[in-house]
């Protein structure tokens, strides 16, 4: 997957400016930046839901604008905690809608025994097989999050997009979800993924790469340990943020750093 020199302009506003990104099989990217940085816009391009104003976007070997995006989306898993389901579907039914790409089960559509077994295996691997007959409306936010990951994996996608999957979770539910993400990455070594978040504490230990966005421009991009540094993150968020990584996980705290140094780092990153 590659984003090459992409600009995206809507209503006279520049949402993305000269963005470059390449995601290879088995890589797991974190996409971070302040509100309004363009994270969701970039994720929309990667999910084939938006098209660039200028530049090229290649998803799973196909260039946007020259491919049937409906067919392309069948090979992309998308996890959004704002999933618009309000009816009392069972966990089984929710996961199986990943095969049809719909919120509700399609009339007269029936899964095969193999598809039913795949749904059960995925739920088991994520530690939620107990939700097979549970009611969506009674599930916790954490349970729903893991169920949506199983749903996204049903069509065996080559690319998984996670849009702030830890939103609204308490500490225990967040840790369970991130452990599930780490496990699925071990179970599916060829899968590529991009995870959007505002918080470094929400990044799984299996994160391999990171991209920092500010005002639609790339501040830093590359291997996670080279990008998620005090200097780069402080420049991205225009605030002194000390970054540490322990046991594979990141933490962020306000750090002593002169404002002039932050502005200088931000200016240099955006100028580059």
DSSP 241-257: EEEEEETTEEEEEE---
Query: What band does 231 get if pLDDT is binned at 50, 70 and 90?
Result: very high
Cα distance between residue 188 and residue 159, in whole Å: 11
- Let me know if residue 113 belongs to a domain: yes
Cα distance between residue 44 and residue 32, in whole Å: 15
Average pLDDT over residues 77-101: 93
- Let me know if residue 257 belongs to a domain: no
* CB atoms near residue 9 (< 10 Å): 14
In which residue are the tokens 């470059």 written?
A: 20
More confident residue, 57 or 256: 57
| Close Cβ partners of 265 (under 8 Å, ≥ 6 residues apart) | 231, 232, 234, 235
Q: What is the mean pLDDT of the chain?
A: 92
Which residues form the domain of 100?
Answer: 88-156
Report the pLDDT value the prediction gives residue 255, as an integer from 0 to 100.
Answer: 81
Bridge partners (DSSP) of residue 187 are: none
Tally the domains of the chain.
1
Cα distance between residue 146 and residue 148, in whole Å: 5
- Let me know if residue 223 belongs to a domain: no
* CB atoms near residue 96 (< 10 Å): 22
Contact 227, 211 (CB under 8 A): yes
pLDDT at 262 over 60: no
- Let me know if residue 114 belongs to a domain: yes
Report the pLDDT value the prediction gives residue 236, as an integer from 0 to 100.
Answer: 95
- Let me know if residue 126 belongs to a domain: yes
Average pLDDT over residues 143-160: 94
Report the pLDDT value the prediction gives residue 81, as an integer from 0 to 100.
Answer: 87
What's the token pair of residue 226?
Answer: 């080279």
- Let me know if residue 237 belongs to a domain: no
- Let me know if residue 93 belongs to a domain: yes
- Let me know if residue 120 belongs to a domain: yes
Cα-based distances in Å from 57 to 64, 211, 244: 6, 16, 33
**C-alpha gyration radius of the chain:** 19
Cα distance between residue 158 and residue 153, in whole Å: 9
């Amino acid at each position: 997957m590659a984003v090459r020199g992409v600009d995206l302009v809507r209503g006279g506003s520049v949402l993305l400016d000269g963005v470059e990104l390449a995601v290879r099989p088995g890589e797991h990217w974190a996409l971070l930046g302040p509100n309004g940085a363009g994270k969701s816009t970039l994720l929309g391009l990667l999910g084939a839901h938006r098209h660039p104003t200028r530049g090229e976007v290649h998803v799973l070997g196909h260039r946007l604008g020259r491919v049937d995006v409906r067919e392309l989306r069948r090979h992309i898993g998308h996890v959004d905690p704002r999933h618009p389901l309000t009816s009392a579907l069972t966990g089984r039914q929710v996961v199986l809608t990943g095969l049809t790409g719909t919120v509700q089960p399609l009339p007269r559509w029936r899964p095969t025994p193999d598809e039913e077994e795949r749904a059960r295996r995925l739920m088991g691997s994520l530690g939620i097989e107990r939700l097979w007959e549970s009611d969506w409306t009674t599930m916790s936010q954490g349970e729903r999050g893991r169920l949506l990951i199983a749903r996204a994996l049903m069509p065996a996608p080559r690319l998984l997009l996670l849009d702030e999957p830890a939103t609204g979770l308490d500490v225990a539910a967040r840790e369970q979800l991130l452990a599930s993400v780490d496990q699925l990455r071990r179970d599916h070594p060829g899968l590529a993924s991009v995870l959007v978040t505002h918080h470094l504490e929400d990044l799984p230990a299996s994160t391999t790469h990171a991209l920092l966005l500010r005002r639609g421009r790339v501040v830093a991009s590359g291997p996670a340990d080279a990008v998620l540094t005090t200097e780069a993150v402080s420049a991205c968020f225009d605030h002194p943020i000390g970054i540490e990584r322990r046991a594979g996980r990141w933490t962020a705290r306000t750090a002593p750093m002169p404002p002039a140094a932050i502005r200088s780092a931000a200016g240099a990153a955006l100028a580059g």
